[in-house]
Amino acid sequence: MLLTAYLLALLALVLAWPVPVALSRARWTARSPFAAMVLWQSIALAGGLSMIGAMLVYGLEPLGGNLLAALRRATTIVLGNESPGELHFWHLFALCTAALLTVHLVFTLLLTYARIVTQRRRHRELLALLSSPSGALDRTWVINHPAPVAYCLPGGSRSVTVLSDGLMEALAPEELAAVVRHERAHLTQRHHLLLWAFEAWRAALPWLPTSRLARAAVNSLVEMLADDVARRSTPDAVLVRAIALVAVGSADDGERPPGAHGGSLPATMDNGEDVDVAARLSRLLTPRPPLGRTATAGVLTASALLLAVPTVLLLAPGIA
């Protein structure tokens, strides 16, 4: 039991710091954003599982030779109102921390979800009053604003893509088509769910390097995944031009005097957490081949193993 607790704690530590730091610096992720995304999810899940698992196993150690037996004994103690004499202060402390951490994670996940849903509903209400459907494009709304802006608003069957007048003016038809394909890819691949989960993870444990790095990496990876969908039917050069025009256009817009055209936008990155445009462009300008089949299989196997290790450590001794 103690050995299991130490192994889980070690895994939690490794997944909290060195592994995410190395992965966020790795260059192969731009070549296979999908595999990288799977790996990040596995790191987050395995990290949380081993963190909570380590404290649970340590706390229950005096009650049984394995987790399942100890849990059965703990249930008898709680239900039978017996005195948990075998448990000392540090055991109880670990158990309480594990319980609090679990509640905290679940609660933050739900709270973040509620906040996002509220804000999205409000956004949709305003949008309905301020934009009009695009004549040519299905489920696409056009809003009257001079800055070139494109984004998608997820909401099941009511998902829409929003484009600004400024964007329609700045881009040629094929560039515009690339932007719309990019936004639709976000919606069809349900990227908002990933962004939500990793935003909640960061909000719950902001002091943990892994949660901050993971969110930044996931933000960047979903853009690359959407770019890759647009690239299937658009030459890279067209997409590059669209990205550059939109980025420069929104920066120029911020330099105009405020109020000159109904609300200008600050163009500076406020906290460096935004998606790295340079990384996105460089993989389009100097494309490198995607990871080979063996390498991709290796990354996916590693992801599966990462999840399997804490699960086996927790459950196997009890089942065997």
Partner 1 sequence: MASLGELERSVMDLLWSAPEASTANDLRDRLASNEGPDHAGKDLAVTTVLTVLSRLEKKGLVERERGTRPHRYRAVSTREEHTATLMHEALGTAPDREAVLARFIGAVSDAEAATLRRLLARG
Tokens of 190: 């349900």
Please report whether residue 240 would count as binding partner 1 according to CB under 8 A.
yes
Tokens of 154: 């997820």
> What sign does the dihedral 230-270-192-304 (CA atoms) show?
positive
Return the residue of 26, 78, 96, 126 that touches partner 1, per CB under 8 A: 126
Contacts of 168 (CB under 8 A, 6+ apart): 142, 176
Query: Distance (Å, rounded) from C-alpha 182 to C-alpha 164?
Result: 15
Please report whether residue 250 would count as binding partner 1 according to CB under 8 A.
yes
Tokens of 74: 């703990």
239 and 230 Cβ atoms separated by less than 8 Å:
yes
Stretch that binds partner 1, among 55-63, 74-82, 185-193, 304-312 (CB under 8 A): 185-193
Return the residue of 4, 32, 41, 112 that touches partner 1, per CB under 8 A: 112
* Contacts of partner 1 in 251-270 (CB under 8 A): 251-252, 254, 262-263, 265-270
Please report whether residue 177 would count as binding partner 1 according to CB under 8 A.
no
Residue 291 amino acid letter: L
Would you say 259 or 289 has its CB closer to partner 1?
A: 259
Would you say 91 or 145 has its CB closer to partner 1?
A: 145
Residue 180 amino acid letter: V
How far from the centroid of its chain's Cα atoms is residue 74's Cα? 36
Please report whether residue 125 would count as binding partner 1 according to CB under 8 A.
yes
**CB count in 10 Å sphere of residue 78:** 10
Return the residue of 9, 71, 101, 245 that touches partner 1, per CB under 8 A: 245
Closest to 66 in 3D by CA, of 293, 271, 249, 320:
320
Please report whether residue 143 would count as binding partner 1 according to CB under 8 A.
yes
Would you say 73 or 231 has its CB closer to partner 1?
A: 231
How far apart are the two ends of the chain, measured CA to CA in Å? 14
Please report whether residue 247 would count as binding partner 1 according to CB under 8 A.
yes
Please report whether residue 315 would count as binding partner 1 according to CB under 8 A.
no
Please report whether residue 168 would count as binding partner 1 according to CB under 8 A.
no
Give the β-pairing of 160-164 and 140-143: parallel
| Site map 267..286 versus partner 1, x via CB under 8 A | xxxx---xx-xx--x-----
Query: Distance (Å, rounded) from C-alpha 93 to C-alpha 111?
Result: 26
Please report whether residue 221 would count as binding partner 1 according to CB under 8 A.
no
Where do contacts with partner 1 occur on this chain (CB under 8 A)? 112, 115-116, 119-120, 123, 125-130, 143-145, 147, 149-154, 162, 164, 179, 182-183, 186, 191-192, 195-196, 199, 222-223, 226, 237, 240-241, 243-248, 250-252, 254, 262-263, 265-270, 274-275, 277-278, 281
